Amino acid sequence: MTQQPRICILGGGFGGLYTALRLNQLPWNKSEKPEIVLVDQRDRFLFSPLLYELLTGELQTWEIAPPFAELLANTSIRFYQDTVTGIDTDAKRVQLQDAPELTYDRLVVAMGGETPLDMAPGAAEYAIPFRTIADAYRVEERLRLLEETSTEKIRVVIVGAGYSGVELACKLADRLGERGRLRLVELTDQILRTSSEFNRETAEKALRDRGVWLDLETKVEAIAADSISLEYRGKLDTIPTDLVLWTVGTNVPEVVQNLPLKHNQRGQLVVTPTLQAIDHPDIFALGDMAESYDAEGKRVPATAQAAFQQAEYTGWNVWASLSGRPLLPFRYENLGEMMTLGAEEATFSGLGLKLDGQMAYLARRLAYLYRMPTLDHQLKVGLNWIAQPIREWLAP
């Protein structure tokens, strides 16, 4: 008897989880069917584009962060909650912190990125990133304590005016209302540099309407326990703060940087259009920690939308590589971009449409409901969203 091949998938975000689910659906021959193993250091998947809604109470943790055990219950995928400590590409082994090492026939590396907190003195000690459920809980706890004080103004500084910074600023402005004093600090001369003009203008208006102060062309010099020092055109200003949120940058995990594979200057793995590591066709990589170009040679953005699409191709190509079928070069399709701009407000542009306000909010909700990882979870969340206004109407 031949040994059952094993596919190891490292990382349970959009890239890793959706690749695993795709592989589980594909038509394997009985003799070919592999063991699919998914490894992540957390016990829950995170639908990260909806993380901001936790801060305004619009969504609950179970809706955007279902446990892997629940999502994988009706599949043959094995899940390990563990930390990857090393990868031996010659021996085809993955070392784990608390479990025996795993051998693999195919490896999928989709471990996402980490927020760097070494870009300014004091950031690691006093700033909070906003990438994980744990980050959201830290922010929530800090806000709760501040809201319980008698201080007149709650002073929040958000570093980085990309998607995450802008979305955070609008959500927090709506949550804090008149008590909030928010600043958005950006090193360049505009917010949302990679966004469409419509979305940028809509976001700028949303920030103005909420009284969020914009510090453009401003560098963070240092962060202290109750202040932040900013440099603007050679002038240094130290401003008192109650909370600093850091949304700038993405680091590739160290275990990925240490792989003896081709990397770019940022430490990302360079992959072929079929999402395979250079000179290592048994290793696939996608998401934040991969430098990927599609079939037409265009650079693929490091977004959840791109990782979602890459997962479809990665699943197919891993299956094809084990079953003697041709692999497909990745073809990225830009389906537009969506942002939340406060409670029950959003913006959307793409596919010939431009929406803002509540229409965009509804379109964004429906698009994300469609992309949730399993039909069971889609139904649970969808029914809860339908029932919510009814419960509010019936409430005394």
Look at residue 40 in the predicted model and tell me its pLDDT.
97
271 and 222 within one domain: no
Kindly tell me if the per-residue pLDDT of 395 is higher than 70.
no
- Rg (the chain; Cα; Å): 22
DSSP string, 296-324: TSPBPP-SHHHHHHHHHHHHHHHHHHHHT
Kindly tell me if the per-residue pLDDT of 91 is higher than 60.
yes
Look at residue 312 in the predicted model and tell me its pLDDT.
96
3-class DSSP state of 275: coil
Q: pLDDT by residue (tens digit) across 112-129?
A: 988 999 999 999 999 999
294 and 195 within one domain: no
239 and 135 within one domain: yes
Look at residue 125 in the predicted model and tell me its pLDDT.
96
> Is residue 141 assigned to a domain?
yes
Q: pLDDT by residue (tens digit) across 233-252?
A: 999 999 999 999 999 988 99
Cβ contact 332:300 at 8 Å? yes
CATH code at position 96 = 3.50.50.60
Share of the chain above pLDDT 90, in %: 84
- The domain in which residue 288 lies consists of 6-41+82-114+251-323
Kindly tell me if the per-residue pLDDT of 1 is higher than 80.
no
Is 332 exposed, middle or buried, given 0-12, 13-18 or 19+ CB atoms closer than 10 A? buried
Q: Could you say which of 224, 246, 268 is where a domain stops?
A: 246
Look at residue 196 in the predicted model and tell me its pLDDT.
87
Q: Could you say which of 229, 246, 263 is where a domain stops?
A: 246
Kindly tell me if the per-residue pLDDT of 229 is higher than 60.
yes
How many domains does the chain divide into?
Answer: 3
199 and 98 within one domain: no
**What mean pLDDT, rounded, does the chain reach?**
93
Give the phi and the psi of residue 276 in degrees, each rounded to 5: -105, 145
> Is residue 275 assigned to a domain?
yes
Q: pLDDT by residue (tens digit) across 76-88?
A: 999 999 999 999 9
142 and 195 within one domain: yes
316 and 283 within one domain: yes
177 and 196 within one domain: yes
Give CA separation, 119 vs 225, 250, 252, in Å.
17, 11, 15
Look at residue 81 in the predicted model and tell me its pLDDT.
97
Q: pLDDT by residue (tens digit) across 54-67?
A: 999 999 999 999 99
